[in-house]
Amino acid sequence: MARLKGTIERITFQNEETGFTVARLRPEEGRAGSDGLVTVVGETMSLAAGESVVMEGDWGSHAEYGRQFKIDHYETVHPSTVEGVRRYLGSGLIKGIGPVMAGRIVDRFGKDALEVIEHEPGRLKEVEGLGPKRARMITAAWKAQKEIHGVMVFLQSHDVATGHAVKIWKRYGQKAVPLLRENPYRLSSDVWGIGFLTADRIAQNMGVARDSETRVEAGIRHVLTTASDDQGHVYLPRELAVEMTAEALGVTPDLVDSGLSRLIEAEDLVEEESRVYLPPLYYAEKGVATRLFQCSQISRIETGDVGDEIDTIEIRHDVKFAGRQREALVKALDHNGLVLTGGPGTGKTTTVRGLLWLLEARKKKVALAAPTGRAAKRMQETTGREASTIHRLLGSRPGGGFERDFENPLEIDAIVVDEISMVDVFLMNSLLRAVPVSASIVLVGDTDQLPSVGPGSVLRDVILSGVVATVRLDQVFRQAQSSRIVMSAHEINSGEVPDLRHGRDSDFFFLESNSPEDVSNTIADLCAQRLPGSYSLDPIDDIQVLSPMYRGETGANALNERLQDRLNGTGQELIRGGLRLRRGDKVMQIRNNYNRDVFNGDIGRIREIRQTDQEVAIDFGGRTVPYDFSDLDEIVLAYAISVHKSQGSEFRAIVMPVTTQHYVMLQRNLIYTAITRARELVVMVGSRKAMEMAVENNAVAERFTTLDTRLSAMLSPEVPS
């Protein structure tokens, strides 16, 4: 076995899932390429640029890339030369030290620089331009690097990838090893980005038996969590939960059934009439049902004639409400709760404005809220009143939870919530906990859009229950009839393929293109040149590409890479876990992060990549939020996003591929949702056949929920709940 010693110059490729790495190393001695470097490959896990290493392995040759050193084992060592120390410190490995500061430190201390940082950090003040704050940062980062090394060695021995290892270290610190020895499956619930399959692989490497109680119970939780996260289910029938878990783990159903009983007995799961719930989902759904029922039972005792008040509002604001709109206004004032639903152009916004005028005339304090920042901004623009996201209205706390709840309710008389179709059962429960029992609740949304990304079917279930007064607006008003976007959306919703021909002044275009490659090329040209030139649109801020799927040539992932190169192809960049990020990139947060006050679906722009501080600064609507490099798996490129992720948002222009390549996801409500995200322009690119397939497919995946039956049972107690 050969031995190789040197310094890692750069990481060429690194797969954070497998740990496989291709790197360029500057050897201390021996043969190298014309640039003085050799290629090393292997599952190196925590290898980073700037590190000095001793490797054992074998020399080989790759047909395309030539001579390589295949790593069998390696150890990191402190560099022994002045230049080695300079490269190590300047690599960005130690937070707070960039190339310039590394040069100053080495110029002052020479090859003893690392010894000074470790044993005499107070002497760092001798370095020009290095203040106390940065000295403390460097000392802390150096200590963390030393401590993490021991944990990394343990994790590496169990095939844990670099990105995951860093997250494990950040979550547990020095406790990581004993905690994982005790129960490696805790990773799937404690560390975001590590799922059950990864935790199970680690557990198997640690010797956990396939039929152990710990593994079976973790598998049951995994199946229930996946059913909630991926399919939106609030519960699973017990028989189905057993079947799915047994198949996933490769164990017998009896073993799973016993594990299920243990978890229920320990109150780690809830069973109700052979329905199995994760406790947070069970109590969230019960909470929503209880609060909405209370709301429905409160009678509004108001003086005056509502009809006269509406007449006065019409005269004062020069508006004429249609019959259904008047009905909605009357019910909103006569009841403590109202659901207002309808498609685009049916007057939901006008009705909401009318309600606000009426409530303000009665001196009521009203809050306006929506699930996303974009939806809240649009609500503010259309009503002329302050609106906020639900999270900000409730006061999200770092670490989770909200300031406002039963004990600290909102100080309001009424609340209007827009885009309610995308509110899941968790957020709905949190919202209702914070609304005073005496306050009116008005829920506004479109039942024909996609259901919420999170669990539950809140809007559908509330309407089905009949407990809350509901008005559906179905008249498309004259001013909206001139919009091909609005009319096409209604045609699609009715099962009709819209007229795909278009005039020069249309706001809805369908460009026929049958091959995925042509579709991708057309979309890139539209975003980069044609639409900005013809409609004065900003190619990044105003145009949003929506795709039915992530995979494939016309999926969001491939389109993001292509659009990034076309729209933001140069400049400061960072490669992290296979994702290339550049300053100026459009990105999206993909999980709720209460510590940063940034939430799933929020879209921002990268303003700065701070290599020295190992941070990326992202601007979310005027608020700059720093991200450690190790947290960038919470971020994805957002030039193209899925239709599901677009819910609750509105964009000036939408561009969407519609190809048979996406046949699995081609559904009527998906196309309908995408089209209704556009304010000014829709351009669809693809085949007529794919469009026809989508419009004809009205199959809606049913979710296992019990909100409607819980509400109905409260009205009729003899019905079991």
- Report pTM: 0.82
Residue 156 has a pLDDT of 67
Domain 282-475 coded CATH 3.40.50.300: yes
CATH class of 496-696: alpha beta
Pick from 419, 494, 481: which is nearest to 677 by CA?
419
The tokens for 38 are: 């050799």
Residue 100 has a pLDDT of 86
Q: In this predicted model, which residue has the larger pLDDT, 68 or 503?
A: 68
Query: Going by C-beta distance under 8 Å and a sequence separation of 6 or more, which residues neighbour residue 518?
Result: none
Is a pLDDT exceeding 60 seen at residue 395?
yes
The rounded percent of the chain whose pLDDT value lies above 70 is: 95
CATH class of 164-277: mainly alpha
Query: Going by C-beta distance under 8 Å and a sequence separation of 6 or more, which residues neighbour residue 465?
Result: 707, 708, 709, 711, 712, 715
Domain boundaries along the sequence of the chain? 2-146, 164-277, 282-475, 496-696
Query: Going by C-beta distance under 8 Å and a sequence separation of 6 or more, which residues neighbour residue 458?
Result: 288, 420, 423, 424, 425, 428, 452, 707
Q: In this predicted model, which residue has the larger pLDDT, 399 or 377?
A: 377
Q: Return mean pLDDT, the chain.
A: 89
**Phi, psi at 13, each rounded to 5°:** -155, 140
| 423-462: burial string, b at 16+ Cβ within 10 Å, e else | bbbbbbbbbbbbbeeebbbbbbbbbbbbbbbbbbbbbbbb
Same fold, 164-277 and 496-696: no
* DSSP tag of 530: I
In tens, the pLDDT along 235-280 reads 999 999 999 999 999 999 999 999 999 999 999 999 999 999 999 9
Is a pLDDT exceeding 80 seen at residue 46?
no
The tokens for 107 are: 């110029």
Is residue 297 classed as helix, strand or coil in its secondary structure? coil
Is a pLDDT exceeding 70 seen at residue 607?
yes
Bridge partners, 271 (sequence order): 276
In tens, the pLDDT along 91-141 reads 666 778 888 888 999 999 998 888 888 889 889 989 988 888 888 888 888
Confidence of residue 661 (pLDDT cuts 50, 70, 90): confident
In tens, the pLDDT along 636-645 reads 999 999 999 9
In tens, the pLDDT along 663-721 reads 888 899 999 999 999 999 999 999 999 999 999 999 888 999 999 999 999 877 654 44
Is a pLDDT exceeding 50 seen at residue 559?
yes
- Cα–chain center distance at 170: 21
